[in-house]
Amino acid sequence: MKEVLIREIEQSMAVILDNSQMEKLHNVLSNCLYNVTIVDTVGIKTAQINQDEELLNMFISAKRVEGCSERTIKYYKSTLQTALNKIEKTVKRITTDDLRNYLGDYNKNNNCSKITIDNIRRILSSFFSWLEDEDHIMKSPVKRIHKVKTGKKVKETYTDENLEILRDSCNTKRDLAIIDLLSSTGMRVGELVRLNVEDIDFQERECIVYGKGNKHRKVYFDARTKIHLMEYLKTRTDDNEALFVSLLNPFPRLQISGVEIRLRELGNKLHIKKVHPHKFRRTLATRAIDKGMPIEQVQHLLGHQKIDTTLEYAMVEQANVKYSHKKYIG
């Protein structure tokens, strides 16, 4: 390495020094650097970068084994890669202050919500906690970064009128069946697009869906949904096993983005605010609790691991709160 450095210096000076001067330069460099150790920092940095990439890939593999969806894994990986590239330190040298500064700068530069910042914090926490558990670092630098207080925002649900207008305005039997299935089961849109025709039990008006972490559960639909599903399937001319397919040849399985775009277009056309698949889920949870369904059963119906998640989904109607106040308090 030392000889390479001397040779590079000599080559740079060759255009302005004669042969005797070059010989003297060589002797000076050789003498001055005799007891000096030259380290290839570029090589070390490359090795450290490769090690960080290996650790990140090992973490992502661990998440995949835990049952995280590919969509979640992609979000984890891109979030972590963005953070590590911005901080410009190896993961073993990253400090709490580095992460605080990164989160602060990210918030300032992107003008994003507190929820987004807390999501990034949670992903960083998951990664560094894994590094600590696997003995790659002594202590996670995220431990002293507390949860971002986001505040609770009451999210809207669909009114009965909204749902009827959406149903009446569907110009395809497929879209009508999608709206009915989402509103009567409360399933996730990701669960909806993974359904196959054979998963539907029309006799019992139920189907098995595969949720987060590949956990499966039964969900139930009403008589109207059954009728509209059967009518939709009668119009199908393809042999795709998927329950919902594209309207265009060769009729591939419908994707999450396809459902979201179709519903958004329908909402814009009808001037109904924020028409989104997840809103059907929130509406079902809210109405179930309002009508007296035990929260534990709502939790099971929605496939929530923690009951706190169910409580966040379900927004109790203010009219019912007022009625209960009069009834029980006076």
Q: Between 315 and 215, where is the model more confident? A: 215
User: What pLDDT, on the 0 to 100 scale, is given for residue 213?
Assistant: 67
What digits encode the pLDDT tens for the residues 70-83?
A: 888 899 999 999 99
What digits encode the pLDDT tens for the residues 239-260?
A: 999 999 999 999 999 999 999 9
Report whether pLDDT(107) > 80: yes
CA 122 from chain centre, in angstroms, equals 11
Strand order in the sheet with 216-220: 200-201, 206-210, 216-220
CA separation for the pair 182, 98 (Å, rounded): 43
- Provide mean pLDDT across the span 30-36: 81
Q: How far is CA 85 from CA 82, 90, 98, 214, 304, in A?
A: 5, 10, 12, 32, 34
Q: Is the peptide bond before 250 cis (omega within 30 degrees of 0)?
A: yes
Pairing mode, strands 200-201 and 206-210: antiparallel
Nearest to 137 by CA among 122, 118, 124, 119: 124
User: What pLDDT, on the 0 to 100 scale, is given for residue 46?
Assistant: 62
Q: What CATH number labels 160-325? A: 1.10.443.10
Report whether pLDDT(317) > 60: no
User: Could you tell me the residue ranges of all domains in the chain?
Assistant: 2-32, 68-133, 160-325
The structure tokens 């309002």 sit at 290
Enumerate residues 6+ apart whose C-beta is below 8 A from 329: none
User: What pLDDT, on the 0 to 100 scale, is given for residue 124?
Assistant: 94
CA 323 from chain centre, in angstroms, equals 39
CA separation for the pair 195, 244 (Å, rounded): 8
Report whether pLDDT(330) > 80: no
Q: What is the DSSP secondary structure assignment for residue 211, as one 8-state letter?
A: -
Token couple for 121 = 């914090």
The identity of residue 127, as a single letter, is: F
User: Among 68-72, 119-123, 157-161, whose mean pLDDT is lowest?
Assistant: 68-72
CA separation for the pair 174, 243 (Å, rounded): 10
User: What pLDDT, on the 0 to 100 scale, is given for residue 228?
Assistant: 96
What digits encode the pLDDT tens for the residues 182-239?
A: 999 999 999 999 999 999 999 999 999 987 767 788 999 999 999 999 999 999 999 9
- Provide mean pLDDT across the span 49-58: 87
